[in-house]
């Protein structure tokens, strides 16, 4: 590219990047996903490397983050807050390690730490004589914003550290974020009260920290992980990053328990892969792994370049946000007749997969988003969660964009669509006996892993069987023959026999699973377990009136009404009786179970359980009154550790919390009347 063309393209890139930095960091209203911004930034850096004479002091490549808001006092960082270089493959990580080794006089002394890269807002905390004196944002790396009054409202940030060995002054750096569950609960409350919900946890955290009224910040579910030492005055001279984090922990600062020390590339990649697998269950958003040289002396020897340290790198996972266009909106019918709008999207690669559909939940969500067919939208995909439309980019709306209207008739059976006044969800007015879509979805639910767990009976096969009129309700599944199944498309005799065998195995179940499999409205896993525990017998449950049902834990008038209505329906009773007649059965517990045995106790499951699933184990503990947590703390009463248990087991040992293996766990359950089949 000639100099004139390069200068023109660089000007375009700088304008675009500065615009999007402003949208993200100042207005809290992004119009492109992080991955798209990164692509523009990488193009800028590459082009400037080819034409170093065209680099300007105001280029986004010469600073980190966005400009501080004029609404806050400026803070000059005593040590610059730099951003991280990134990699996306083992080869790139290997190259980074090789570069580190090449710059060190003694590379053999080098090891690494790995920790989750929290998707939040970088913040620096200054403590003087143990008291929080100032908190500041990253800003442009050299100058940030004073947000002390807002950070003081975050309960996980200590206002005073109680310890004898504190340095006179030091700076702690970390990430402020919103946990996933807190984010969803906040948005539910916001929608219910007619307020604007957050776009996503990261933007919610950024916007919360930039509130001029700290009382608003205090109402937001913010928390913080501390991840590094910025600088220190005094005699404390730690040798490694892991020592810093452990000292933070001892001082009462909140740190991430998933930080691990590792020796080499192989161990780094093992951590990266394990964390990616655990990503959906972390309870907070991450976009990768931060890998650092552990030895602080080696960090100092490696030094920094203009905008990033040489001694740290971010291994980035596939992007989980992207922008695309809504090509159409279609309406799907669920097993209870719920009508769910689904956006058909221009295919886009996000979160490691190509996405062409996204859920829109209901018409209220469409109204909240202000969505039209043809709109440019931001979509988000986290782990295995169904992609969602999180915002509309109204500045990109085409002139021919079309409003979205709820259809008047069910797209599956043509029956009228109704919307009860007390519900946000519209429904097909027909029953599952009339509506093929409801019938299919109900059978898929019946066969699912948490219900009857029929191995090999996937969604496509269920749809094919219904379309071929082989099955009309769940009892028909147990009358299928090998010959009938083998005659279906893409099914051979061996596959058919495997399915018939799986159906036979599924007959041995538990009462809780059977109740859940029936697909009663408002009855999830926990409610099904409570019903099974309370009644202990199917006939008693079927005969119960609403007053009796309301005596069950977590069952109120609405849920009790749904259950009573289900069993009052003659067709539903016939299906239940048919299933029992076909041999579906569950053992009766030999001992009376003490449902309050573990009330008030917190248990943690870690590692791989070989004789049951994690969900089954959780349900059994809940049946005894326990709370099951995803993390170990001083409040944990018991840990159950299977093979592969890692940091949670180590934390339990450190805190002297009792640990039992799976065999001891099963013996404990059976001793107290819990069926573990």
CATH number at residue 245: 3.30.470.30
Per the annotation, the verdict on 440 as an active-site residue is: no
Residue 613, domain CATH: 3.40.50.10190
Q: Are residues 150 and 264 in the same domain?
A: yes
Distance between CA atoms of 571 and 448, rounded to whole angstroms?
22
- End-to-end, the C-alpha distance of the chain in Å comes to 69
pLDDT digits (tens, 9 = 90+) for 402-428: 999 999 999 999 999 998 877 778 999
Residue 614, domain extent? 602-671
Distance between CA atoms of 601 and 598, rounded to whole angstroms?
5
Q: Is residue 108 part of a domain?
A: yes
**Angle at alpha carbon of residue 588, lines to 587 and 589, rounded to 5°:** 115
Predicted local distance difference test score (pLDDT) of residue 383: 56
Predicted local distance difference test score (pLDDT) of residue 100: 95
Q: Which residue in 481, 476, 500 sits closest to 579, CA to CA?
A: 476
Candidates 74, 86, 117, 651; catalytic one: 117
Residue 411, domain CATH: 2.40.50.140
Could you give the percent of the chain with pLDDT greater than 70? Answer: 95
Q: Is residue 272 part of a domain?
A: yes
Asked if residue 292 has pLDDT above 90, the reply is yes
Q: Which residue in 431, 430, 433 sits closest to 415, CA to CA?
A: 430
Residue 492, domain CATH: 1.10.150.20
pTM for the model: 0.61
Distance between CA atoms of 639 and 656, rounded to whole angstroms?
11
Predicted local distance difference test score (pLDDT) of residue 511: 94
pLDDT digits (tens, 9 = 90+) for 563-610: 999 999 999 999 999 999 999 999 875 555 666 788 888 898 887 787
Predicted local distance difference test score (pLDDT) of residue 19: 82
The total of structural domains in the chain comes to: 5
What average pLDDT does range 353-358 have in this prediction?
A: 90
Q: Which residue has the higher pLDDT, 563 or 620?
A: 563
| 8-state DSSP, 53 | G
Predicted local distance difference test score (pLDDT) of residue 307: 77
Lowest average pLDDT, out of 46-55, 68-77, 356-365, 467-476, goes to 68-77
Lowest average pLDDT, out of 141-145, 268-272, 419-423, 466-470, goes to 419-423
DSSP bridge pairs for 333: 339
Q: Say how many residues make up the chain.
A: 677
CA 207, 211, 216, 221 dihedral sign is positive
3-class SS string, 474-538: HHHHCCCCHHHHHCCCCCCHHHHHHHHHHHHHHCECCHHHHHHHCCCCCCCHHHHHHHHHHHCCH
Asked if residue 34 has pLDDT above 90, the reply is no
Predicted local distance difference test score (pLDDT) of residue 321: 84
Predicted local distance difference test score (pLDDT) of residue 200: 82
For residue 674 the two structure tokens come to: 């819990």
Predicted local distance difference test score (pLDDT) of residue 28: 60
Q: Quick one: how many helices (H) and strands (E) in the chain?
A: 25, 22
Predicted local distance difference test score (pLDDT) of residue 384: 54
Confidence of residue 438 (pLDDT cuts 50, 70, 90): very high
Where on the phi/psi map is residue 37: left (φ > 0), alpha (ψ -120 to 50), or beta?
Answer: alpha
Predicted local distance difference test score (pLDDT) of residue 155: 87
Q: Are residues 412 and 486 in the same domain?
A: no
Collect all residues with Cβ–Cβ distance below 8 Å to 277 and sequence separation of at least 6.
none
Predicted local distance difference test score (pLDDT) of residue 13: 92
Asked if residue 26 has pLDDT above 60, the reply is no
What average pLDDT does range 8-15 have in this prediction?
A: 90
Confidence of residue 488 (pLDDT cuts 50, 70, 90): very high
Which of 272, 294, 316 is where one domain is finished? 316
Hey, how many other C-beta atoms are within 10 angstroms of the C-beta on 53? 8
Q: Is residue 597 part of a domain?
A: no
Predicted local distance difference test score (pLDDT) of residue 117: 96
For residue 47 the two structure tokens come to: 């082009």
Q: Which residue in 132, 167, 182, 138 sits closest to 153, CA to CA?
A: 132
Which of 316, 337, 369 is where one domain is finished? 316
Name the packing angle between helices 180-192 and 201-209 (round to 10°): 70
Predicted local distance difference test score (pLDDT) of residue 57: 66
**Angle at alpha carbon of residue 228, lines to 226 and 232, rounded to 5°:** 115
Predicted local distance difference test score (pLDDT) of residue 449: 87
Residue 132 Cα distances to 129, 157, 233, 476, 624, angstroms:
9, 9, 15, 67, 43
What average pLDDT does range 346-350 have in this prediction?
A: 91
Collect all residues with Cβ–Cβ distance below 8 Å to 89 and sequence separation of at least 6.
none
Q: Are residues 527 and 630 in the same domain?
A: no
Burial class (CB in 10 A: 0-12, 13-18, 19+), 560: buried
Which of 386, 418, 450 is where one domain is finished? 418
What average pLDDT does range 238-251 have in this prediction?
A: 94
Distance between CA atoms of 257 and 225, rounded to whole angstroms?
10
| 8-state DSSP, 469 | T
Confidence of residue 261 (pLDDT cuts 50, 70, 90): very high
Q: Are residues 307 and 326 in the same domain?
A: no
Are 83 and 65 in contact by the 8 Å Cβ rule? The answer is: yes
What average pLDDT does range 152-177 have in this prediction?
A: 91
Distance between CA atoms of 204 and 206, rounded to whole angstroms?
6
- What is the DSSP pairing of strand 312-316 with strand 85-87? parallel
Q: Are residues 325 and 309 in the same domain?
A: no
Does an H or E element contain 343, and which? strand 339-350
Q: Are residues 310 and 336 in the same domain?
A: no
Q: Is residue 469 part of a domain?
A: yes
Q: Are residues 263 and 400 in the same domain?
A: no
| 8-state DSSP, 147 | -
Q: Are residues 241 and 348 in the same domain?
A: no
Q: Are residues 230 and 160 in the same domain?
A: yes
Predicted local distance difference test score (pLDDT) of residue 353: 80
Q: Is residue 40 part of a domain?
A: yes
Q: Is residue 594 part of a domain?
A: no
What average pLDDT does range 355-377 have in this prediction?
A: 92
pLDDT digits (tens, 9 = 90+) for 321-332: 899 999 999 999
Asked if residue 215 has pLDDT above 80, the reply is yes
Q: Are residues 569 and 645 in the same domain?
A: no
Q: Is residue 593 part of a domain?
A: no
Q: Is residue 175 part of a domain?
A: yes
Q: What is the chain's mean pLDDT, rounded?
A: 88
Confidence of residue 218 (pLDDT cuts 50, 70, 90): confident
Confidence of residue 223 (pLDDT cuts 50, 70, 90): very high
Q: Are residues 50 and 121 in the same domain?
A: no
Confidence of residue 205 (pLDDT cuts 50, 70, 90): very high
Are 265 and 93 in contact by the 8 Å Cβ rule? The answer is: yes
Q: Are residues 82 and 58 in the same domain?
A: no
């Amino acid at each position: 590219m000639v100099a004139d063309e390069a200068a023109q393209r660089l000007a375009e890139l700088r304008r675009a990047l500065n615009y999007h930095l402003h949208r993200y960091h100042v207005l809290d209203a992004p119009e492109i996903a992080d991955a798209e911004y990164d692509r523009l930034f990488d193009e800028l850096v590459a082009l400037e490397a080819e034409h170093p004479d065209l680099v300007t002091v105001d280029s986004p490549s010469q600073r980190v983050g966005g400009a501080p808001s004029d609404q806050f006092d400026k803070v000059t960082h005593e040590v610059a807050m730099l951003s991280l270089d990134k990699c996306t493959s083992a080869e790139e990580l290997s190259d980074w390690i090789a570069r580190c080794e090449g710059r060190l006089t003694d590379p053999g002394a080098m090891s690494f730490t790995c920790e989750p890269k929290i998707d939040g807002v970088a913040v620096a905390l200054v403590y003087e004589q143990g008291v929080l004196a100032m908190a500041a944002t990253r800003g442009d790396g050299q100058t940030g914003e004073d947000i002390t009054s807002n950070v003081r409202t975050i309960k996980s940030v200590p206002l005073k550290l109680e310890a004898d060995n504190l340095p006179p002054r030091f700076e702690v750096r970390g990430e402020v974020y919103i946990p996933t569950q807190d984010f969803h609960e906040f948005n539910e409350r916001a929608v219910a009260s007619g307020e604007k919900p957050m776009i996503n946890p990261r933007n919610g955290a950024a916007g919360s920290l930039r509130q001029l009224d700290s009382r608003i910040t205090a109402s937001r579910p913010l928390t913080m992980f501390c991840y590094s030492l910025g600088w220190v005055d005094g005699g404390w001279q730690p040798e490694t990053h892991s020592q810093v984090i452990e000292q933070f922990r001892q001082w009462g600062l909140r740190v991430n328990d998933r930080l691990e020390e590792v020796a080499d590339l192989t161990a780094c990649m093992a951590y990266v892969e394990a964390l990616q697998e655990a990503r959906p269950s972390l309870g907070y958003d991450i976009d990768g792994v931060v890998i650092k040289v552990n030895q602080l002396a080696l960090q100092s020897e490696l030094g920094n370049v203009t905008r990033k340290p040489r001694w740290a790198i971010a291994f980035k996972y596939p992007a989980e946000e992207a922008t695309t266009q809504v090509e159409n909106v279609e309406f799907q019918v669920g097993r209870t007749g719920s009508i769910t709008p689904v956006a058909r999207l221009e295919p886009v690669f996000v979160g490691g997969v190509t996405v062409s559909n996204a859920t829109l939940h209901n018409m209220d969500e469409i109204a909240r988003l202000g969505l039209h067919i043809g709109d440019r939208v931001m979509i988000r995909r986290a782990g295995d969660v169904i992609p969602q439309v999180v915002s509309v980019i109204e500045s990109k709306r085409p002139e021919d964009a079309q409003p979205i209207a709820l259809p008047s008739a069910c797209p599956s059976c043509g029956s009228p669509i109704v919307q009860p006044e007390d519900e946000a969800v519209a429904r097909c007015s027909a029953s599952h006996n009339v509506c093929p879509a409801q019938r299919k979805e109900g059978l898929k639910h019946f066969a699912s892993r948490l219900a009857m767990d029929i191995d090999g009976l996937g969604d496509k096969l269920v749809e094919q069987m219904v379309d071929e009129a082989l099955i009309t309700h769940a009892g028909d599944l147990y009358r299928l023959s090998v010959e009938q199944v083998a005659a279906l498309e893409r099914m051979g005799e061996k596959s058919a026999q495997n399915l018939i065998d799986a159906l036979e195995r599924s007959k041995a179940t538990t009462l809780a699973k059977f109740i859940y499999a029936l697909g009663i409205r408002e009855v999830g896993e926990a409610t099904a377990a409570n019903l099974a525990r309370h009644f202990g017998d199917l006939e008693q449950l079927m005969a119960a009136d609403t007053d009796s049902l309301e005596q069950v834990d977590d069952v109120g008038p609405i849920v009790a009404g749904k259950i009573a209505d289900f069993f009052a329906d003659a067709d539903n009773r016939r299906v239940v009786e048919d299933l029992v007649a076909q041999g579906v059965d569950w053992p009766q517990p030999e001992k009376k179970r003490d449902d309050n045995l573990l009330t008030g106790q917190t248990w943690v499951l870690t590692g791989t359980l070989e004789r049951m699933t994690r969900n089954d184990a959780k349900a059994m503990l809940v049946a005894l009154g326990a709370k099951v947590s995803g993390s170990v703390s001083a409040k944990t009463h018991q840990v159950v550790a299977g093979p592969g248990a890692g940091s949670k087991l180590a934390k339990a040992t450190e805190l002297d919390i009792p640990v039992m293996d799976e065999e001891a766990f099963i013996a404990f359950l059976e001793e107290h009347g819990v069926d573990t089949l």
